[in-house]
Amino acid sequence: MHPADRTFHRWALTLLAAWVLLMAPALAPALAREAAPASADPVLENRVMRLSSELRCLVCQNETIAASHADLAVDLRNQVREMLREGQSEADVTRYMTERYGDFILYRPPVKSTTVVLWYGPAVLLVAGLGGLWWILRRRNRLAADQFDDDEPVAAPDGSVRADDLQGPR
């Protein structure tokens, strides 16, 4: 075989391999299957998902156990499913989870002495920040104009001053 033919074949094979690698992800959805429901009972599964959306994933901390794919979240969903299948109420499951993991597991914890900062802290910080801003602006507004520093032209490293800086404020 001629060396130019080998180079062409190698180039064509490389191009074919690159095309296959680039097209494989595009073909993956065609091979995917729909996830099987975890429970044969759609009513039970609906209750599980509704309750799971009220419980925080202890690993992710910013996701519910319904949305998380962490192993612990999967285990907690399965535990919720089993407890509901055994006939326990959603309140029983929530109470059990809260006793075991504390109020942190609830995506909307109750307002009580241990969570009051969680509920009202952001509002207090916002009011304090706005109050501080108002106080600083009020104090600055009362200062006379001669108490502020004059705007001085800024010299460039070579010692020159821009013409815009010499004209003063507009």
102: alpha, beta or left? (left if phi > 0; alpha if psi -120 to 50): left
Task: Output the pLDDT for position 40.
Answer: 75
pLDDT truncated to tens, each residue of the chain (170 aa)? 666 667 777 888 888 888 878 877 776 666 655 455 555 788 899 999 999 999 999 898 789 999 998 999 999 999 999 999 999 999 999 999 999 998 889 988 888 888 888 889 999 999 999 999 999 999 988 887 777 676 666 666 776 666 555 555 55
The contacts of residue 52 (CB under 8 Å, 6+ apart) are: 64, 65, 66, 76, 77, 80
What does the pLDDT read at residue 120?
A: 92
Q: How far is CA 101 from CA 28, 57, 130, in A?
A: 39, 11, 36
Q: DSSP 3-state assignment of 68?
A: coil
pLDDT at 30: 61
The pLDDT, as a whole number, for residue 24 is: 73
Which of 43, 44, 46, 75 shows the shortest CA–CA distance to 58? 75
